[in-house]
Structures are given as structure tokens and as C-alpha cells.
Amino acid sequence: MTAVEPILLAACLIYALAAAHDVAARTIPDSCSIALFLLALLRLTLIDGGASAFFDAAVSFGVFAALVMLCAAGLLGGGDAKLIGSSTFLLGFDRLTDFLAATALAGGILALAYLAGYLLLSGLPHAVPAPSGPARRSARRRFGLVLAAEHRRVARKQSIPYGVAIAAGALVTLGGLS
């Protein structure tokens, strides 16, 4: 097993957690961005290191600063800005264009899916699943609640969970680290 494989596995799990949390609550935990930042430091220490570490950090800071301005203008969420910034640091400057392109493509697909969902669901009632016996907090019930919440969000044209697109773009780009 190479040194990069545990980093890739940990990053995949963090991205899955960030995407799931964004779908469920429309927030991305700061712990996900911090964990990715720490993984980036580990990657740079074990694999790349040297001058590329400073260059990757500078580019990541520049991307994050630009995203903070978009966040201040109300065009992007704070969690999205932090997740993209830490992802930029993890993936490195060499993969920045691939990451941003894959994220934009995934975001477009996600937006189209939500638009289609709006067209299909806007006239339907928002059903909330009834509790089933003693397992009121079962995974199936929670999944049903998340689906019902998404149905309401889609019908009201609320924000889409762009953390899903960021995670998808990063996961597609992560293959270049091996």
C-alpha cells in the first residue's frame, strides 16, 4: 500500500460526509474542511513537499479569498467556499483546472436534476412518512424525512446542495493523486 492510498480513502469518506450533510441540512460542517486541510498537509509532507507546498498553499489561499468575496455577495455559501478552498489545497495546483471543471459539470447536472424535480414535484403534496412501530428513529424513517424535506425544498425553489457537486468534482479529480 502506498502512502497516498489512506489519504485518498480518508478524503473519500470526508467528501461523502460533507455531501450527505449538505443534502440533509444545507450546511457543510467545518470539521470536513479542516480534515481535508490536514490531509493536504499530510499529502504534502509525505508525497510532494518542497516548493510545491508553498505554491499549492498560495493558490489555495487565492481561490479561497475569491470565494469569500462571492460568499459576501450572497452568491455562494460559506461552507461551499471552505470546502472548495480546502479541496484546492488537497488536490494541488496541478489539478485545480480539472477540479473546477468537474465541479462545474457536476453542479450543472445537479441543477438540472433539481429543475426536473421542481417540474415533476411542484404540484404534489409534501408527504412525511408516518412512524413505523418502535423504530421511529430508524435509518429508513430518517431517509424518508430527508426525501420529504427535499421535496419541500424543490417545490419552493430553495437552494441546491452544492456540496454534492464539490464532492463529486473532488472525487473525480482524486484519481490523479495515485
pLDDT tens-digit series, residues 142-155: 777 777 777 777 76
Look at residue 142 and tell me if it is in a domain.
Answer: no
Sign of the torsion angle spanned by Cα atoms 7, 9, 13, 19? positive
> Looking at the predicted structure, is the pLDDT value of residue 96 above 70?
yes
pLDDT in tens, 153-174: 776 777 889 999 999 999 999 9
Q: Tell whether 45 is covered by a domain.
A: yes
**51 lies in a domain?**
yes
Q: Do 66 and 58 contact (CB within 8 A), yes or no?
A: no
Report pLDDT for 114: 83
169 lies in some domain: yes
Instruction: Give the DSSP H or E segment for 60.
Output: helix 51-72
pLDDT tens profile 18-46: 999 998 888 999 999 999 999 999 988 88
Mean pLDDT of the chain: 85
Contact predicate 53/44, CB 8 Å: yes
> What is the sign, positive or negative, of the torsion defined by CA atoms of 128, 129, 130, 131?
negative
pLDDT at 27: 93
Number of domains in the chain: 1
Q: Which residues lie below 8 Å from residue 42, measured CB to CB, with a gap of 6+?
A: 7
Read off the DSSP letter of residue 156. Answer: T
Q: What is the mean pLDDT of residues 122-145?
A: 63
The answer to the question of residue 125 being in a domain is no
**Amino acid at site 42:** L
Q: In Å, what is the CA distance from 155 to each residue of 36, 100, 118, 164?
A: 33, 29, 5, 19
pLDDT at 124 over 70: no
Confidence of residue 176 (pLDDT cuts 50, 70, 90): low
Question: Which domain, by its residues, includes 103?
Answer: 4-107+161-177
* Residue 114 placed within a domain: no
**DSSP summary character for residue 129:** P
Q: What is the mean pLDDT of residues 72-98?
A: 94
Per-residue pLDDT at 127 exceeds 60: no
Residue 68 has pLDDT above 80, yes or no: yes
Residue 132 included in any domain: no
Quote the pLDDT of residue 135: 52
Does residue 35 belong to any structural domain of this protein? yes
